[in-house]
Structure 1
Amino acid sequence: MPLIRIKSLPFTQQEVPIPQVLNSLSSAISAETEIESHHIMLTWEYIPAGHYVHSGKAVHHQPINTHPILVDLIAPNFNTEQQIASMLELIANTLAEQVPIAKNNIFINFTPAYSDGVYDCGQVVEWDE
């Protein structure tokens, strides 16, 4: 596991191939972390136009430099601070390369997942720390 959930406003400048972006991000994470791709989950949701306020302003489409893309990274708590930082940087770099967004306009939040706190593949997952 990691689980990566991405939210943004719809893009207007160009068609963004979200499935291709997610596949690229999945491949990059798998290669960097040596986590098999079947353990990596990614989603991308669009925030409805006008439903995202940043700096007091609601907009209808994803700007390049405001209204950061919102990313949640959920990964096991056995990852070191360096591993987490590497994943955060990898996500930001990959998104900035793949979509029309400035790297400094990406917000990523890490949430640790704990042993016995994840249900996957038909069972509660337990890992050694």
Structure 2
Amino acid sequence: MPLVRIKSLPFAQEVELPKVLKTLSKAISESSDIDLHHVMATWDFMTPHHYAHNGNVVDCQPEHTHPVLVHLFAPNFNTEEQIAKMLELIADTLASQLPVSKRNIFINYSPAYSDGVYDEGHVVEWEM
């Protein structure tokens, strides 16, 4: 059930976000051996001039400042190594698809707990 939530400023150039989200979802599915049906990814744009980095605000997404912000939610049964692998995969995939440096992607992880996720009509429980 990985859920990847991405936020950025709007891009100055054309970026095919549906393609980026599909590519990212497929990469996570394949590398983690998780059915694609269980992988979710969203993208939200911040309002221009509403994101400060180093005290500066801008109107569109720069390549080297104002990192693209990514939040990964994934089950807590994943090992530290598996989480690190997912973080690297997300960064690599986004950097290959976007006009943004890999060094300009910020990702944080939050564990999802058994009995703490509602999906497909019920509270999900997993054994570790």
Question: Shared fold by TM > 0.5?
Answer: yes
Give the secondary structure class of the aligned counterpart of 2:78: coil
* 1:24-103 mapped onto 2 (5 Å cutoff): 24-103=23-102
CA RMSD after TM alignment: 0.4
Letter in 2 for 1:57: N
Q: In the aligned structure 1, how far is the partner of 2:29 from the partner of 2:111?
A: 18
Task: Quote the offset at 1:108 in angstroms.
Answer: 0.1
Structure 2: where are the runs of 5+ without partners?
none
Q: In the aligned structure 2, how far is the partner of 1:40 from the partner of 1:122?
A: 16
Corresponding pairs, count: 128
> Partner residue of 1:3?
3
Structure 1: where are the runs of 5+ without partners?
none
Large movers: runs of 4+ above 2 Å: none
Alignment TM-score, normalising by the size of structure 2: 0.99
> Partner residue of 2:14?
15
Q: In the aligned structure 2, how far is the partner of 1:84 from the partner of 1:92?
A: 12
Task: Quote the offset at 1:74 in angstroms.
Answer: 0.1
Alignment TM-score, normalising by the size of structure 1: 0.98
